[in-house]
Amino acid sequence: MEAVLTHLRGAIERGTYAIGDKLPSEAELCRTLEVSRPVLREALRALQTMGLTVAKTGKGTFVIANTVEDPTFGDYAASDLMEVRRHVEIPVAGYAALRRTPENLDHLAHLLDRMERETDTTAWVAMDTLFHLAVAEAAQNPVFRRVIEEIRDALARQSAFLTELGGRREQSNREHRAIVEALTDGSEADAVAAMSHHLDRVETTLTDIVRTPGTSTPDPHRQ
């Protein structure tokens, strides 16, 4: 999928497909690129997320921009989503460290164990959003949960995007483990630091994908 995305994104950025142009049909692209339709559709979805194309029902996929600026996840731009996540999820982690119950910790530990064993990307992404919702629940404030519920679809889309194009899954599991350990210890400072680090890495990976056609640049922090 990354190879297909690299090819199509490059063609758009070079002007092979100009703004306003319609991309070849899925059948034609599959033949030309020698890939299956599911792989092609993943790449086309990524182009839309990056803001380069738009799909019009019954008409096809059209180019609407030739540079990637601010990806969109569902109803929200990536920059808006990250701004809100920092202002909400970081303090929420601190509150959760002080207020979590044994049941909250059990739930988080169970989710984390399942995520570390999961190999299916779609299932992992679903649990990723559940993890962040569970941290909000541990803060014992229903408003925090409502906020995360509101952006849950965007979180899932962002998670899938970063997992497929940035190889974030294993790294994210480690960062989630650090968050759960801080909550277990009841350390507000450690929980805030762990969530801050997690969101830093999310933003760095997102920036790398946007900056580098088709894939993320090597990250010295990743092992």
pLDDT in tens, 91-130: 999 999 999 999 999 999 999 999 999 988 889 999 999 9
**Tokens at 7, concatenated:** 């090819």
Asked if residue 144 and residue 78 are part of one domain, the reply reads yes
Asked if residue 118 and residue 25 are part of one domain, the reply reads no
What's the domain range around 54? 2-63
CATH number at 19 reads 1.10.10.10
pLDDT in tens, 6-29: 899 999 989 999 999 999 999 999
Return the exposure string of 67-98: e unless at least 16 CB atoms fall within 10 Å of the residue's CB, then b. ebeebbbeebebeebbebbeebbbbbbbbbbe
Question: Which regions of the chain does DSSP assign to beta strands (E)?
Answer: 53-56, 60-63, 72-73, 76-77
pLDDT at 1: 79
Rounded Cα–Cα distance for residues 13 and 28 (Å): 20
C-alpha distance from residue 198 to each of 129, 178, 216 (Å): 14, 9, 17
Q: Which of 63, 93, 112 is the last residue of a domain?
A: 63
Across the chain, what does the average pLDDT equal? 91
Asked if the structure places residue 219 within a domain, the reply is no
* pLDDT-derived band at 212, boundaries 50, 70, 90: low
Asked if residue 58 and residue 77 are part of one domain, the reply reads no
User: Does residue 144 have a pLDDT over 70?
Assistant: yes
The least confident of 65-69, 135-139, 181-185 is: 65-69
pLDDT in tens, 51-101: 899 999 889 999 998 888 888 898 999 999 999 999 999 999 999 999 999
HSE-up of 194 (CA within 13 Å, CB side)? 28
Asked if residue 206 and residue 120 are part of one domain, the reply reads yes
